[in-house]
Amino acid sequence: MRMSRPVWMLLAVAALVVIPLLIGGEFAGADGQAAAAIEAANPDFAPWFTPLWQPPSGEVEGLFFALQAALGALVVGYVIGRRHGRAKAEAERHGTTGPAARNA
Amino acid sequence: MHIMEGYLPASQSLAWYAASAPFVVAGAVRIRKIVRERPEARMTLAASGAFAFVLSALKIPSVTGSCSHPTGTGLGAVIFGPSVMAVLGLIVLLFQALLLAHGGLTTLGANTFSMAIVGPWVAWGIWRLGRGAGLSMALTVFLAAALGDLATYLFTSFQLALAYPDPVSGVAGAMIKFGGIFAFTQIPLAIAEGLLTVVVIDALSGRVRDADKIGVLAGEAR
């Protein structure tokens, strides 16, 4: 069976995420590591400005990251659905599968 | 991963704001023009911004044992040219700076420059080069999105190196240090971003010939 391009690509993405988990590590954020490197090189360093608002806990931070991903996915999904709906309606109106469908 | 709030000296914060501003203004003008002249493209424009929203929310583990996130800015850059992403990327960065304490307001100019300007311009440049060289749509989009992602983080490393040069080896030495933190972590993520960008282009354009996909999404061809 020949896998379609999106399928094998998504499997490859999944592998890229899972392999590091199998290798193991602390998986701290790269930005935090950069901050640590700056502080290590400049012992008296302190950020001169702090965020106006910080999520009070890791859970709340997770909430906002999930919200960001969900909002984006909602819009991407809506646009994909709309385009497919329109392509289908057009194909039906012309009584053919359309010139575009032939090459897929 | 963006430069943290308060980690750039004030003078450099301002300088990056000033450097980013004209790109953002040009992007806003371009978006208005696209929306006015190509109503077909409005949906794709929304999806391009939304894709950056999704991808930059996904903190993904990497083989270096640390986490980072992709940028998602290659998609819109390939379809519409790099300028629109300055605006869309800025919106993503504002959301993260205000609600997630990720990145920051003082570093917004610098982060906009790396993620919303350098990344998209590199992606667009690779796209043009690849098309010119006759590479396939999928391979070119993959390379454009992946290398644009990597370029963002190389530039972030450069920005930090400029702010915190190594006392012995200078900016170059610091660039290697920060690059080791950001860029190596980013390599698998950049590959993932390249693949996901091709997947989304396939999903958005549906049953259209590969060669016509980008044109259809840009609202240039039907």
- The Cα-based distances of B67 to A45, B60, B82, B179, B184 in angstroms read 24, 5, 27, 14, 11
Min Cα separation A2/chain B (Å): 17
CB contact under 8 A, A35 and B56: no
Q: Where does B45-169 show beta strands of DSSP type E?
A: 60-61, 66-68
Tell me yes or no: is domain B10-217 CATH 1.10.1760.20.
Answer: yes
- pLDDT-above-90 percentage for chain B: 94
List of chain A residues whose C-beta atoms are within 8 Å of the C-beta of residue B50: 71-76, 79
Domain residue ranges in chain B: 10-217
Tokens encoding A22:
């199998």
Q: How far apart are CA B205 and CA B55, in angstroms?
A: 19
Report d(CA A22, CA B89) in Å as an integer.
Answer: 32
Overall average pLDDT of the B130-141 stretch = 96
Q: At B199, which helix (H) or strand (E)? A: helix B170-205
Radius of gyration of chain B (CA): 17
Among B64, B72, B78, which residue's Cα sits nearest to residue B91? B72
- Tell me which residue in B65, B181, B196 faces A13 most closely, judged by beta carbons: B196
Q: What is the pLDDT of residue B44?
A: 94
- Per residue in B140-161, pLDDT (tens digit) is 999 999 999 999 999 999 999 9
What mean pLDDT is predicted for residues B3-13?
95
The answer on pLDDT for B221 being more than 80 is: no
What is the tens place of the pLDDT at every residue in B53-100? 999 999 999 999 999 999 999 999 999 999 999 999 999 999 999 999
- A38 in contact with chain B, both atoms CB, cutoff 8 A: yes
CA gap B188, B66 in Å, rounded: 12
Burial B46-73 (b: 16+ CB within 10 A, else e): ebbbbbbbbbbbbbbbbebebbbbbbbb
Contacts of residue B117, defined as CB under 8 A and 6 or more positions apart, other chains included, come to B20, B23, B82, B85, B86, B89
ipTM of the complex: 0.91
Q: How confident is the model at residue A44 (pLDDT cuts 50, 70, 90)?
A: confident
Separation CA B157–CA B160 (nearest Å): 5
pTM of the model: 0.93
DSSP code, position B75:
H
- CB-based burial, B89-128: b 16+ in 10 Å, e otherwise: bbebbebbbbbbbbbbbbbbbbbbbbbbbbbbbbbbbbbe
3-state SS class at A29: strand
pLDDT of residue A104: 43
pLDDT given for residue A97 in this prediction: 53
Q: What is the mean pLDDT of chain B?
A: 95
Could you read off the pLDDT of A51-63 as tens digits, one per residue? 988 999 999 999 9
Distance CA B37, CA A26 (A): 50
User: Would you call A15 an interface residue with chain B, using a CB distance cutoff of 8 Å?
Assistant: no
